[in-house]
Amino acid sequence: MIFLPVVFLLYWFVFRPLRWQNLLILVASYVFYGWWDWRFLVLIVITSLSSFSSGLLIRHWEGRRSLQRAVSAANIVLNLGILAVFKYFNFFVDGLNDLCSLLGLSVDWPTMHIILPVGISFYTFQALSYSIDVYARRIEPTRDIIAFFSYISFFPQLVAGPIERATNLLPQMQRERTFDYALAVDGMRQMLWGFFKKLIIADGCAEVVNGVWDNLGTSTGLVLFIASLLFTFQIYTDFSGYSDIAIGCAKLFGFRLTTNFKVPYFSRNVREFWRRWHITLNEWFTQYVYFPLGGSRRGRARTIINTVIVFALSGLWHGADWTFVMWGLYLALLFIPLIVFNTRRYKDTVAHGRLLPSGREFLSMLVTFLLINFGWVLFRAPDFQTFCAFVSRLFSPSLFSPSGLTMRMATMLLWCGGLLLVEWMQRERQHVLQIDGYRVFATQAARYILYALLACLIFYFAGQVQTFIYFQF
């Protein structure tokens, strides 16, 4: 509670020169991350130093493409190697042991007890984007090591994104910044909405969802279906809530981060959903994996293969477990028909300029939502066997039995329904609390009453705080 106000005051009233502001950001970010476990600061320093040095070497060897390629490759291997050891070592060892067992070989490679550093997948991808963009000549390498280290470790989005490309955030680190009152106020509103989504909806849904998953054997199909719906909203409000908090917090310091969610549950097909969900990760894979593989330029068959690769890697990025890989492949399976039949690429917001969607739009959104909802069951399952047990019990006669329903479930469904309603009304805004233009909120007093009401709801209804889901990735 005290960290942010102290950093904010020091940033704007004490550390006024740009270099000192960046130094404060760097120190504050390291304190913020080191508070969890200071030992893992070494990894951020290695990642930052490696990517910073690779940029300078690529610039130094301008015109010698083979050396530049070697430097870029070495930086990629180093950073992905660190990520692989801390996040995927046991996964790969278990997979190797299983493969040897299938081949009749008696091999039992030992696994290790490895603590997964919080946010390592996020800041690793952020660092890689810099060195790759320097190699591709999309951005000039920087010699300002403080600005660069601050870019990698910027505390609002350090542990769970958005994953900022150097082309967006690094230039902001290197420009003079002055306090923008309107931007700061908008940032605080976005943070308030993020806290509301996280503490009221995500954590409330988590209470129900965790209880159901802990008692699969005694839950009816209807209870499991409701739990799947609530997890669909839990993961959205949990992750997008963090993104709102991070983006809003960055605005307090004069930075504009990339929007990470754009009402994804109003998507009309899976392609549109993927364009609106975890936008910075999807753009990262598109830019640095899909396009280098050839994208859609080498025929339909190659496009499908590239798409499957991207979705599989995206699933693996989320966690070292086959359920995540299968979740990614499930989304790829939904995506393939859109490629084969060259379905429409929606770039507008549904029902643009209208209060209600057409019947066709509503049906498309409903089908897409249910398909995505089923995929989240696989994402949530601890293993494939449990997923099969969930699905088997879900599609049983008990799907139509009201036994086991609770008032808490009904309450959380109402909260989720209310969320959908307000997001639908504000679907073309950056966040729900951008209420300029509404006559009812024309006065400052009316706006403050709304903010106070949301704050009271948070303090009154918030239960046990749950760890952000994406902290584990």
pTM, 2 dp: 0.94
Neighbours of 278 (CB within 10 A): 22
User: What pLDDT score was predicted for residue 268?
Assistant: 95
Residues assigned a catalytic role: 318
pLDDT digits (tens, 9 = 90+) for 238-284: 999 999 999 999 999 999 999 999 999 999 999 999 999 999 999 99
Burial of 99: CB neighbours in 10 Å, binned 0-12, 13-18, 19+: exposed
Predicted local distance difference test score (pLDDT) of residue 195? 95
The answer to whether the CB of 204 falls within 8 A of the CB of 269 is no
Domain count, the chain: 2
User: Domain check: are 365 and 461 in the same one?
Assistant: yes
Residue 204 placed within a domain: yes
Whether residue 116 has pLDDT greater than 90: no
Residues 205/233, Cβ–Cβ less than 8 Å:
yes
pLDDT of 26-60, one tens digit each? Answer: 999 999 999 888 889 999 999 999 999 999 999 98
User: Do 109 and 173 have their domain in common?
Assistant: yes
Evaluate whether 231 touches 141 at the Cβ level (below 8 Å). Answer: no
Same domain, 93 and 186: no
* pLDDT at position 111: 64
Q: Which of 112, 146, 178 is the last residue of a domain?
A: 178
pLDDT score, position 38:
87
323 located within any domain? no
Instruction: Please give the Cα distance from 413 to 420 (Å, whole number).
Output: 11
CB 271 within 8 A of CB 343: yes
What is the spatial distance between Cα 112 and Cα 128, in angstroms, rounded to a whole number? 27
Structure tokens at 51: 């990517």
Among the listed residues 431, 272, 434, the one whose alpha carbon sits nearest the alpha carbon of residue 367: 272
Among candidate residues 152, 178, 204, the one where a domain is terminated:
178
pLDDT band, residue 98 (cuts 50/70/90): low
Query: Encoding tokens for residue 240?
Result: 């997008």
- Say which residue, 94 or 370, is predicted with more confidence: 370
Residue 100: pLDDT band with limits 50, 70, 90: confident
Residues 87 and 217 in one domain: no
- Integer Cα distance of 303 and 149 in angstroms: 37
Query: What percentage of residues in the chain have a pLDDT greater than 70?
Result: 97
Place of tokens 């998507």: 267
Examine the domain organization and report whether 132 and 67 are in the same domain.
Answer: yes
Indicate whether 260 and 152 sit together in one domain: no
* % pLDDT > 90, the chain: 74
One domain, residues 146 and 240: no
Q: Both 351 and 257 in a single domain? A: yes
Q: What is the mean pLDDT of residues 393-401?
A: 90
Q: Is residue 237 part of a domain?
A: yes
Range of the domain at 86: 3-178
Q: What number of CA atoms fall less than 13 Å from residue 384's CA on the CB side?
A: 7
Q: Over range 467-473, report the average pLDDT.
A: 77
* Residue 310 amino acid letter: V
pLDDT for the residue 433: 93
3-class state of residue 200 by DSSP: helix
Give the per-residue pLDDT at 193.
Answer: 96
**Exposed, middle or buried by CB within 10 Å (0-12, 13-18, 19+), for 304?**
middle
Whether residues 165 and 205 fall in one domain: no
In this structure, is residue 431 part of a structural domain? yes
- Average pLDDT of the segment spanning 64-84: 93
What rounded mean pLDDT belongs to the chain? 91
Residue with tokens 């209470």, as numbered in its chain: 207
104 shares a domain with 47: yes
pLDDT in tens, 189-245: 999 999 999 999 999 999 999 999 998 888 899 999 999 999 999 999 999 999 999
Alpha helix segments (H runs only) across 84-214 = 89-102, 120-135, 145-153, 166-173, 181-196, 203-213
Mean pLDDT (whole number) for 302-313: 94
Q: Are residues 11 and 118 in the same domain?
A: yes
Is 315 a domain residue? no
pLDDT tier at 99, thresholds 50, 70, 90: low
Whether residues 103 and 214 share a domain: the answer is no
pLDDT of residue 353: 86
- Determine the pLDDT at residue 462: 78
Q: Give residue 89's pLDDT band: very low, low, confident or very high (50, 70, 90).
A: confident
- Phi then psi dihedrals of residue 120, to 5 deg: -65, -35
Residue 7 maps to a domain: yes
Averaged pLDDT for residues 96-103: 70
Average pLDDT of the segment spanning 420-424: 96
Report the distance separating Cα 265 and Cα 234, nearest Å: 13
User: pLDDT for 435-449, tens place per residue?
Assistant: 887 888 878 888 999
331 in any annotated domain: no
Residue 360 has pLDDT above 80, yes or no: yes
Q: How confident is the model at residue 107 (pLDDT cuts 50, 70, 90)?
A: low
pLDDT above 90 (res 104):
no
Domain ends where: 133, 152, 178?
A: 178
Residue 307 lies in a domain: no
pLDDT at 397 over 80: yes
